[in-house]
Structure 1
Amino acid sequence: MLGFGAFHGLNPGMGWLFALSLGLQQQRERVIWLSLIPIAAGHALAIGLAALLVLLGLQFISLSVLQWLTAGLLLLFGLYKLFNYYRHPRWVGMKVGFGDLFLWSFLMATAHGAGLMVIPALMGVTGAGMDHSGHAGHVSAAGMDMVLAVGLHTAAMLLVMGATAWVVYRKFGLTILRQHWINFDLIWAFALLAAAGIAAWMAW
């Protein structure tokens, strides 16, 4: 979950580029830091909903079946993103408030499959929680583990996002992005396919 958080934080599509643009637009570094808070919160909500879906799903189907379903969904979504990585959802302009940033971040994380990507890791957390608790308390124990996992994921994302935005703002500016741009959307598609492989391996 920490690794996924760092990867999500590094991806400009998850929010740091938006925060950086707002800071440069208003010529205030403080705007960048303030913008990252609702962006991280919206992302955390998307990941939290994925965790909730895992807990609810385990009430009706086994962990193994849920793992195979997740692997299939990740494979399909990864293939879709692989052939459509150049398409970007557009919901807001550059004049936004904190509520807009929160909603944008939640929608962006959902549309890019960020929650879906971390489900294999969340199921690993859930399985560990169930293994180390009695039958009566396994749901609550797994739930607490999920909350901790989502919190760690969000903290790692916020740390990497903030560091990346600060370095670009202080040292390089947007010029470096025009000269040395990395296609994270394509990397993201391959990451989804890798997560599908991990989910299938865990199920097997």
Structure 2
Amino acid sequence: MGWPLAVSAALMERKPGRLWRALAALAGGHLLSMLAILLPFTVLLWLVDYQRQIQIGAALLVIALGIYLTINRRHPRFLARVRPTQLALWSFLAALAHGAGLMLVPIYLGICKTIETDAGHAAASVLMTSNTTVALGVALLHSLAMMTAGGALAFGVYRWLGLKFLSKSWFNLDLVWAASLILVGVIALVMA
């Protein structure tokens, strides 16, 4: 139904070539919308077929990252200064990289096999699969709790303690993070 928009674009700019450019843009948008719906389901089917191989590959990747972080102790410089206009993007990428939402996908998809033995996984599965409103409420409440705790710390440091306190009392958990990645990777490899 976008063809009238293509005609309108060509008429407004009085150039016949704009018709084809508009049609290409409309076709591209339509294709992207179909891919956004179809690709995740295709990928999920592929993931089920190759679950063991993916588990082994992911475990090896996590172990390699842990070893790399143990050897290379330098923190990435581009993370040192994030502009205020980029905070939402940074937060999205950091949460994505740390698996904030991704850790819930196996429970949501029902591929977490510990439901019979683990009441926490069972409760999360029931909440996430039976009531979307509750799942969204949990996500909102979690975000609010994280922001409240982080906001209280940030306000305290900003208002009373200052940057000098922060620079003198900072402790680096990179080595602990690297060791935990290696441990989790080894456990995942053994269980695969």
Instruction: State the structure with bigger RCO (CA 8 A, min sep 6), 1 or 2.
Output: 1
Structure having the higher Rg? 2
Instruction: Output the TM-score relative to the length of structure 2.
Output: 0.49
Instruction: Output the TM-score relative to the length of structure 1.
Output: 0.47
